[in-house]
């Protein structure tokens, strides 16, 4: 079984000083493919290296930022401090019974490799989150979600390093304040912690979640209802809608879908009768930002180096050669046009650096 212990590299014998690179290019560390540099760059592969970095002068003197796969960031220019690249690897089986497994996943693990491995081992829970780029450590930051599942649904605890107290802390799910694309890590703990491990509880009984969009009807085309086939459907759905960052620079949805009071939605609907919505609770609905952006005429807008994707208008793209400032000013223009037409201020999902 792959979980037995892949590689927890807490090598106590590690004595070599960590290599901190200077004036390091970030082109390959952000999926927008923005050409920019950081003053310093440290790839952290062990807890000891992490402590070494956070006890060094660099974090005293300069701003610092943890980076996973760079698939949810937009660099508006060079970074004037230290980028800590999260590269601690390992997946460990903690507990197992007839129904569940609990695994501890290191923050530097590639997210989709993890999903693939859990599905191959027939542990259910992550399959709807297939093919999301990035590393495991970033998953709780915005509580990644797709196709009716959010990471909070399977997450038990998060272990992190608190850079101010220089201590290791565990938060239970209930303390993480998870919500739609939100968590305590985007508020009280923003810029203060380095997520190190996620403890996930996965199910051996496969309860498939298929209510999003056409997932159920797609699954009906398969002989077997299982997480392997569900993963396949999710991947092909995503491939049909979203640009591959290796081909077209992007960071997925640039904005969050706005959540508004039902009364506000009903008022808007008087003038925009085709406006779609999804219930959030008795009082609130979610309006697809993609629809709002399309209505403002942005879908497929090509400004040469950058623009708006022609299939999924929630995605801003770098066709090649765009700067972070180009993308950011386009995002502001989109935001403004939607505010003017609908009175709704879109929140950026992407972390602007």
The residues assigned a catalytic role are 181, 253, 349
Q: Whose Cβ is closer to ligand FAD: residue 124's or residue 245's?
A: 245
How far apart are alpha carbons 9 and 123 in whole angstroms? 25
Distance CA 204, CA 227 (A): 11
**Nearer to ligand EPU by C-beta: 249 or 252?**
252
The answer to whether residues 108 and 6 touch, using CB atoms and an 8 Å cutoff, is no
Q: Which of residues 138-167 bind ligand EPU (CB under 6 A)?
A: 146-147
Terminal Cα-to-Cα distance of the chain (whole angstroms): 40
| Cα dihedral 185/112/221/278 (nearest 10) | 20
By Cβ distance, which residue is nearest to ligand EPU? 252
- Provide the mask over 200-239, with x wherever binding to ligand EPU is found by CB under 6 A and - wherever it is not: -------------x--------------------------
| b (16+ CB within 10 A) / e for 9-32 | beeeeeeeebebeeebebeebbbb
Which CB, 312 or 335, lies closer to ligand EPU?
Answer: 312
Supply φ then ψ for residue 345, to 5 degrees.
-95, 115
Q: Is 290 in the site for ligand EPU (CB under 6 A)?
A: yes
Beta-strand relationship, 249-253 and 193-203:
unpaired
A 10 A CB-CB count for 49 gives 22
The CA distance from 350 to 256, in Å, is: 9
CA angle 204, 137, 197 (to 5 degrees): 65
Kindly state whether residue 67 participates in binding ligand FAD, applying the rule CB under 6 A. yes
Q: Does 257 bind ligand EPU (CB under 6 A)?
A: yes
Residues 309-338 that bind ligand EPU (CB under 6 A): 312-314
| 86 binds, options ligand EPU, ligand FAD, none, Cβ within 5 to 8 A by partner type | ligand FAD
Give CA–CA dist 16/292, Å, rounded: 53
Q: Is 33 in the site for ligand FAD (CB under 6 A)?
A: no
Indicate which single residue of 39, 135, 301, 306 sits in contact with ligand FAD (rule: CB under 6 A). 135
Chain centroid, CA 191 distance in Å: 16
Q: Is 314 in the site for ligand FAD (CB under 6 A)?
A: no
Q: Which is nearer to ligand EPU, 31 or 85 (CB)?
A: 31
List of residues 6+ apart from 14 with CB closer than 8 A: 46, 48, 49
Q: Is 138 in the site for ligand FAD (CB under 6 A)?
A: yes
Strands 278-279 and 284-286: antiparallel
Which one of 67-75, 216-224, 254-262, 287-295 is the stretch in contact with ligand FAD (CB under 6 A)? 67-75
25 is in the binding site of which of ligand EPU, ligand FAD, none (Cβ under 5 to 8 A by kind)? none
Q: State yes or no: residue 145 binds ligand FAD (CB under 6 A).
A: yes
Among 162, 180, 179, smallest CA distance to 171 is for 162
Q: Which residues bind ligand EPU (CB under 6 A)?
A: 146-147, 213, 241, 252-253, 256-257, 276, 288, 290-291, 294, 299, 312-314, 349
Q: Which residues bind ligand FAD (CB under 6 A)?
A: 31, 65-73, 86, 107, 132-135, 137-139, 141-142, 144-146, 193-195, 242, 245, 250-252, 351
């Amino acid at each position: 079984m792959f979980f037995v212990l892949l590689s927890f590299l807490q090598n106590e014998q590690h004595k070599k000083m960590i290599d901190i690179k200077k004036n390091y290019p970030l082109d390959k560390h952000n999926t927008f493919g923005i050409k920019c540099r950081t003053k310093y760059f440290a790839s952290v592969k062990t807890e000891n290296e992490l402590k070494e970095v956070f006890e060094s002068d660099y974090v005293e003197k300069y701003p610092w930022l943890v980076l996973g796969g760079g698939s949810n960031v937009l660099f508006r220019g060079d970074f004037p401090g230290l980028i800590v690249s999260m590269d601690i690897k390992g997946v460990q089986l903690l507990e197992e019974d007839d129904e569940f497994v609990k695994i501890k996943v290191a923050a530097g693990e590639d997210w989709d490799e993890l999903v693939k491995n859990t599905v191959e081992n027939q542990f259910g829970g992550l399959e709807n989150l297939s093919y999301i780029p990035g590393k495991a450590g970033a998953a709780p930051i915005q509580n990644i979600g797709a196709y009716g599942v959010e990471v909070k649904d399977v997450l038990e605890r998060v272990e992190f390093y608190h850079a101010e107290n220089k201590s290791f802390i565990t938060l239970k799910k209930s303390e993480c304040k998870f919500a739609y694309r939100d968590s305590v890590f985007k508020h009280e703990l923003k810029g203060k912690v380095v997520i190190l491990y996620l403890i996930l509880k996965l199910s051996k009984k496969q309860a498939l979640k298929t209510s999003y969009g056409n997932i159920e009807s797609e699954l009906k085309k398969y002989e077997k209802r299982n997480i392997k086939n569900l993963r396949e459907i999710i991947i092909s759905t995503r491939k049909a809608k979203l640009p591959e960052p290796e081909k077209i620079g992007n960071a997925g949805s640039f904005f969050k879908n706005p959540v508004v009071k039902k009364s506000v939605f009903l008022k808007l609907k008087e003038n925009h009768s085709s406006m779609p919505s999804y219930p959030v609770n008795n009082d609130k609905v979610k309006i697809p930002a993609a629809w709002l952006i399309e209505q403002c005429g942005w879908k497929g807008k090509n400004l040469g180096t950058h623009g708006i994707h022609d299939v999924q208008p929630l995605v801003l793209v770098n066709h090649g050669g765009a700067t972070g400032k180009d993308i950011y000013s386009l995002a502001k223009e989109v935001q403004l046009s939607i505010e003017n037409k609908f009175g709704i201020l879109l929140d950026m999902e992407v972390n602007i650096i």
